[in-house]
Amino acid sequence: MPTYPPDRFDTQPEDLTRVGAHRAPRRRGRGFVTFAWAALATGVLVGAGVVGMFVINDRVSFENILGASSQEETPSATPTPTLEPTVDPAANVVVLNGANTDGLANLAGDVLAGAGFTVTTRGDADSEVPTTTVYYSDPSQEAVAKGIVQALGMGDVQESTAFVIEGQAPRIVVVLGTDYIPTS
């Protein structure tokens, strides 16, 4: 390895306290200032991202924030027409006993037949149910379902496609629950 002759930079005075050619001593608190700037920049970026997502999803309306008044009128509530219970002898009514009481479907079927309904099937449900419910699949059958509830003296009305058999006419299914008490 080659050796170089010593020059003036090889020897340093004993009273020299600087390190490096241009470095001054570090000020106190310099690390905290750097951390504060980084935290501020992170907060601004996160806030801009949140506001951007709300704007993209149309959840924030800047008109209301900036004080502009919205001239939109709230639509007036239209009353929902209530259907009156009716009797339709052409309706296909099925009565199922969900109370595990022998003969209950026949008793309820007789009550419905006496009220003017055509009961096509009487039988037992697959399982025991707590409440009597009248199921209809076509919205036009809701008034007839309410008429069945009125004739039975109890029960709930519910629209459902659970009892629809493809290729057959819509039917109304009465599932008698353990709460059903025969009237006769």
Write the CATH number for 128: 3.30.70.2390
Per-residue model confidence (pLDDT) at position 122: 92
Instruction: Give the residue numbers spanning the domain of 151.
Output: 92-176
108-136 mean pLDDT: 91
Per-residue model confidence (pLDDT) at position 55: 76
161: pLDDT strictly greater than 80: yes
Domain count for the chain, please give it. Answer: 2
* One domain, residues 109 and 165: yes
d(CA 31, CA 86): 83
137-148 mean pLDDT: 90
In a domain, 11, yes or no: no
Spacing of C-alpha 3 from chain mean position: 83
Per-residue model confidence (pLDDT) at position 19: 60
* One domain, residues 165 and 101: yes
* One domain, residues 54 and 128: no
- Boundary-marking domain end, from 65, 83, 115: 65
In a domain, 21, yes or no: no
Model confidence at 47, in pLDDT bands (50, 70, 90)?
A: very high
In a domain, 148, yes or no: yes
* One domain, residues 159 and 104: yes
In a domain, 172, yes or no: yes
34-62 mean pLDDT: 84
11-29 mean pLDDT: 67
Q: Which residues on neighbouring strands pair with residue 171, listed in sequence order?
A: 92
* One domain, residues 96 and 58: no
Per-residue model confidence (pLDDT) at position 63: 60
d(CA 8, CA 122): 117
Check: CB of residue 134 under 8 Å from CB of residue 163: no
Check: CB of residue 91 under 8 Å from CB of residue 145: no
In a domain, 146, yes or no: yes
* One domain, residues 158 and 96: yes
Model confidence at 166, in pLDDT bands (50, 70, 90)?
A: confident
In a domain, 74, yes or no: no
* One domain, residues 168 and 98: yes
In a domain, 161, yes or no: yes
In a domain, 183, yes or no: no
* One domain, residues 109 and 152: yes
User: Between the CA atoms of 97, 99, 102 and 106, what dihedral angle is there, to the nearest 10 degrees?
Assistant: -30
* One domain, residues 104 and 61: no
This prediction's pTM: 0.55
